[in-house]
């Protein structure tokens, strides 16, 4: 979602390969860095080769081989790759070797140490209060109490101590980045337009929402008044308990039931009662975003910031500013690395993640649809592949050849609340979103249409 575009504290991911961009690796790096995950998990003993050995030194400060091994071994644990054959297959499929994994992990820890060393020189510190505030903001953002937050950390492989250490380092990076020349560089309209065009596929068909979120009894009363012709705005003012879900779906965090409901809603439509996790909802779609046409460059629909809705423009402005800061920080890190005394030692033999890849072939890609997959209704499906009205495969014949190639792309978007948007909903004029409630429309799966 776009609300995370400007999130800082994860700059290290931009400097490593794709596999180290995963959340799992970030979690495990934090845990390994604080020594909170044992070197042996789920039978993954055999780290003796790493014991008492040094993977690298950074200005005389050691990175233990065991720290690198913990990092990679726990990645295997989190991703169900503890079996040697499964791990070997994953490496081959990912075009990686054990040495590649080790090098990337070392590079990450080298950068961490460089930041910490420079912060010490500059007298930059992070207080316990600052870390606590950052964590409190995270809990509030996701609407979690302490118990829910702790459970979420556990599911992701964090301990509270390792997560705290991660946030402390993130704040340290933020402070260093803020002090750099060029970190507050001027943002131009061209920067914002570039951001918008890079996310055009996500923006297309996104929907601006007006949401009544309330308890069940209030939602039922609100629904009744809407059916009687009351204005949506008046009903919302009377029964709504929060405005936090209002706005563009790509800029807000919505309950899954809302994401599912708005998929096929057109501009001006009002949903039936939606039963959510913490609230019940009635949702009105006030606008569906249609990309401008740019005949000169179809892949870059935006040519001016004036073409962007105000809220989305503000988000991209912030994102562009963060990119400037990130660029300045990345240059700074590279300069530190060039001037630092960094020594990487050869990879020891017998490391538990260094498995034999001899004879292992890449797994053939399977682009066929399976029952339950989500597809676009206009996909060029083979004969015999049936989908329901919502775009889900009902059945398909037993065939060896591939059937389509967009399953992953089509399925991915629903998690972001953007996928499978019926582009017919982009047609302006379906409704202006300003009418006073309305009646159920036959065949619209229980939505209320404005009159």
DSSP 206-257: -EEEEEEEE-HHHHHHHHHHHHTT--HHHHHHHH----TT-EEGGGS---HH
Provide the token pair at 125. 């510190």
Bridge partners (DSSP) listed for residue 254: none
410 or 263, which is more confident? 263
Q: Is the pLDDT of residue 216 over 80?
A: yes
**108 shares a domain with 234:** no
311 or 156, which is more confident? 311
Q: How many residues does the chain have?
A: 451
Residue 271 lies in a domain: yes
Contacts 24+ apart (CB under 8 A), 425-428: 425/205, 425/207, 425/264, 425/265, 425/266, 425/267, 425/285, 425/288, 426/205, 426/288, 426/289, 426/290, 427/266, 428/267, 428/290
Backbone φ and ψ for 210, nearest 5 degrees, come out as -120, 115
Residue 93 lies in a domain: yes
Using pLDDT thresholds of 50, 70 and 90, give the confidence band for residue 322. confident
Q: Is the pLDDT of residue 387 over 70?
A: no
Residue 83 lies in a domain: yes
Provide the token pair at 308. 């962007």
Question: 16-30, 117-131, 355-369: which has the highest mean pLDDT?
Answer: 117-131
**72 shares a domain with 143:** yes
Q: Is the pLDDT of residue 335 over 90?
A: yes
Residue 134 lies in a domain: yes
Distance (Å, rounded) from C-alpha 239 to C-alpha 234? Answer: 9
Q: Is the pLDDT of residue 371 over 80?
A: no
**pLDDT value for 414:** 35
Residue 426 lies in a domain: no
Cβ count near 164 (within 10 Å): 18
**158 shares a domain with 264:** no
Nearest one of 355, 405, 401 to 380, comparing CA atoms = 405
Angle at which helices 98-122 and 23-33 cross, to 10°: 60
Nearest one of 249, 247, 282, 299 to 447, comparing CA atoms = 282
Q: Which of 191-195, 222-226, 387-391 has the lowest mean pLDDT?
A: 387-391
Cβ count near 263 (within 10 Å): 20
**136 shares a domain with 31:** yes
**159 shares a domain with 212:** no
Residue 313 lies in a domain: no
Number of domains in the chain: 2
Tell me the pLDDT of the chain averaged across its residues: 77
Q: Is the pLDDT of residue 379 over 50?
A: no
**170 shares a domain with 277:** no
Distance (Å, rounded) from C-alpha 14 to C-alpha 232? Answer: 45
**pLDDT value for 409:** 38
CATH code of residue 245? 3.10.50.40
143 or 414, which is more confident? 143
**215 shares a domain with 172:** no
Nearest one of 289, 232, 236, 283 to 262, comparing CA atoms = 283
CATH code of residue 74? 1.10.4030.10
Cβ atoms of residues 222 and 232 within 8 Å: no
What's the pLDDT tens digit per position in 420-438?
A: 333 333 333 333 333 333 3
**270 shares a domain with 227:** yes
Q: How far is CA 444 from the centre of its chain?
A: 31
Residue 217 lies in a domain: yes
85: which DSSP letter?
H
**211 shares a domain with 154:** no
- Give the largest Cα separation in the chain, rounded: 76
Domain that holds residue 123: 2-178
Measured at the CA of 149, the angle between CA 145 and CA 153, to 5 degrees, comes to: 175
12 or 217, which is more confident? 217
Alpha-carbon radius of gyration of the chain? 26
Using pLDDT thresholds of 50, 70 and 90, give the confidence band for residue 332. very high
Q: Which of 46-50, 185-189, 252-256, 304-308 has the lowest mean pLDDT?
A: 46-50
Which residue shows structure tokens 């919302």? 236
Cβ atoms of residues 69 and 352 within 8 Å: yes
**pLDDT value for 141:** 85
Backbone φ and ψ for 270, nearest 5 degrees, come out as -120, 135
**264 shares a domain with 162:** no
**pLDDT value for 375:** 52
**118 shares a domain with 256:** no
Kindly state the average pLDDT of the residues 190-208: 93
Distance (Å, rounded) from C-alpha 107 to C-alpha 100? Answer: 11
- In the listed set 163, 178, 193, which residue is the last one of a domain according to the structure? 178
Residue 145 lies in a domain: yes
Phi-psi label, residue 13: left if phi above 0, alpha if psi -120 to 50, beta otherwise? alpha
**244 shares a domain with 156:** no
């Amino acid at each position: 979602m776009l609300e995370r575009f400007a999130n800082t504290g994860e700059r290290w991911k931009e400097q490593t390969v794709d596999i180290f961009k995963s959340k799992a690796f970030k979690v495990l790096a934090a845990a390994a860095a604080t020594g909170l995950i044992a070197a042996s998990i789920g039978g993954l003993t055999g780290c003796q080769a790493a014991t008492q050995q040094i993977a690298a030194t950074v200005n005389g400060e050691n990175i233990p081989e065991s720290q690198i091994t913990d990092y990679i071994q726990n990645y295997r644990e989190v991703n169900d790759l503890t079996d040697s054959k499964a791990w070997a297959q994953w490496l081959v499929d990912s075009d990686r070797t054990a040495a590649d994994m080790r090098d990337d992990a070392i590079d990450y820890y080298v950068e961490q140490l460089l930041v910490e060393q420079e912060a010490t020189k500059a007298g930059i510190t992070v207080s316990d209060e600052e870390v606590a505030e950052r964590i409190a903001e995270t809990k509030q953002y996701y609407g979690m109490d302490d118990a829910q937050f702790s459970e979420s950390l556990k599911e992701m492989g964090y301990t509270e101590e390792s997560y705290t250490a991660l946030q402390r380092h993130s704040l340290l990076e933020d402070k260093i980045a803020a002090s750099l020349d060029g970190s507050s560089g001027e943002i131009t309209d061209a920067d914002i337009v570039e951001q918008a065009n890079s996310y055009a596929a996500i923006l297309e068909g996104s929907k601006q929402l007006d949401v009544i979120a309330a308890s069940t009894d209030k939602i039922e009363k609100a629904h009744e008044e809407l059916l009687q012709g009351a204005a949506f705005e008046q009903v919302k003012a009377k029964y709504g308990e929060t405005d936090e879900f209002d706005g563009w779906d790509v800029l807000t965090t919505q309950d899954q039931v809302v994401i599912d409901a708005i998929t096929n809603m057109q501009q001006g439509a009002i949903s039936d009662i939606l039963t959510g996790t913490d609230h019940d909802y009635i949702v009105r779609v006030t606008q569906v975003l249609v990309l401008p046409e740019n005949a000169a460059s179809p892949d870059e629909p935006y040519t001016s910031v004036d073409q962007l809705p105000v809220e989305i423009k503000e988000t991209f402005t912030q994102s562009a500013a963060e990119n400037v800061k990130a660029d300045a920080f990345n240059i700074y890190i590279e300069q530190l690395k060039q001037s630092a005394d960094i020594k990487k030692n050869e990879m020891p033999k017998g490391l538990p993640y260094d498995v034999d890849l001899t004879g292992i072939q890449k797994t053939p890609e399977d682009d066929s649809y399976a029952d339950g997959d989500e597809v676009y209704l206009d996909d060029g499906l083979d004969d015999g592949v049936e989908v329901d009205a919502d775009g889900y495969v009902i059945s398909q014949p037993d065939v060896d050849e591939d059937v389509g190639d967009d399953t992953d792309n089509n399925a991915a978007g629903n998690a972001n609340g953007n996928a499978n948007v019926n582009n017919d909903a982009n047609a302006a004029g379906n409704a202006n979103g300003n009418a006073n409630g309305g009646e159920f429309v036959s065949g619209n799966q229980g939505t209320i249409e404005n009159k």
